[in-house]
Amino acid sequence: MYPGEPRRADVAPYNGHKSFQVTMKILQMLTLRGPNYWSIRRHRLIVLRLDLQDWDERYTDELPGFYEALVELLPSLEEHFCSPGCRGGFLQRLREGTLLGHVVEHVALELQTLAGMPVHFGRTRETRTRGVYNVVYEYQYERAGRYAGRAAVRICQDLARGDAIPNGNWLPTWRNCGNSNRPLPWD
């Protein structure tokens, strides 16, 4: 048990990703630009209110192939310390089993980092509404941060369902965003 993560409930056994058709839903995306409830030092935060829908109570260790696919897509997640406080900490949490809201937080941070905007702070907390989480993460450039959040939800959703990520070549393009003259995807 880690802070903010609910106890595992008795849910029906996982019976194949294709039976999960209801997609996660972003209920709200707030951009914070000043002192806030989540952090004393970090003022630039995005709060994504995320409804996991069918994916609530589904932990990453129960999703076949999810860990492998995510690490293949974003190997640099190895650098995320997360609650264990050491290199590989987040990957450890993924293997032990964590909820997808928490994964969205780390993917949103990593996408920005890869695009030349390194960010590290994030928190994911349950709300009073079952299945709804506040996914909080840092940004440097507002539009890129919001874009990264939407992309992270999409990526986690697709990988959890066992779907391939469309346009597998987007990652190198993304990586070069910071120093190319092409229009940025979030502009």
Which residue number, 152 or 177, has a Cβ lying nearer to Zn ion? 152
Residue nearest to Zn ion (CB): 82
Report in angstroms how near the CB of residue 107 gets to Zn ion at its nearest.
11
Report in angstroms how near the CB of residue 101 gets to Zn ion at its nearest.
10
Which residue number, 82 or 152, has a Cβ lying nearer to Zn ion? 82
Task: Round to whole Å and give the CA distance between 59 and 82.
Answer: 17
Which residue number, 20 or 124, has a Cβ lying nearer to Zn ion? 124
Report in angstroms how near the CB of residue 176 gets to Zn ion at its nearest.
27
Report in angstroms how near the CB of residue 180 gets to Zn ion at its nearest.
30
In single-letter form, the type of residue at position 105 comes to E
Contacts 24+ apart (CB under 8 A), 159-167: 159/66, 159/69, 159/70, 159/73, 160/17, 160/20, 160/55, 160/58, 160/63, 160/66, 160/100, 161/17, 161/18, 161/20, 162/17, 162/18, 162/64, 162/65, 165/73
Residues that bind Zn ion (CB under 5 A): 82
Measured from the Cβ of residue 86, the count of other Cβ atoms closer than 10 Å reads: 8
Instruction: Specify whether the CB–CB gap between 79 and 114 falls below 8 A.
Output: no
Which residue number, 82 or 177, has a Cβ lying nearer to Zn ion? 82
Which residue number, 71 or 184, has a Cβ lying nearer to Zn ion? 71
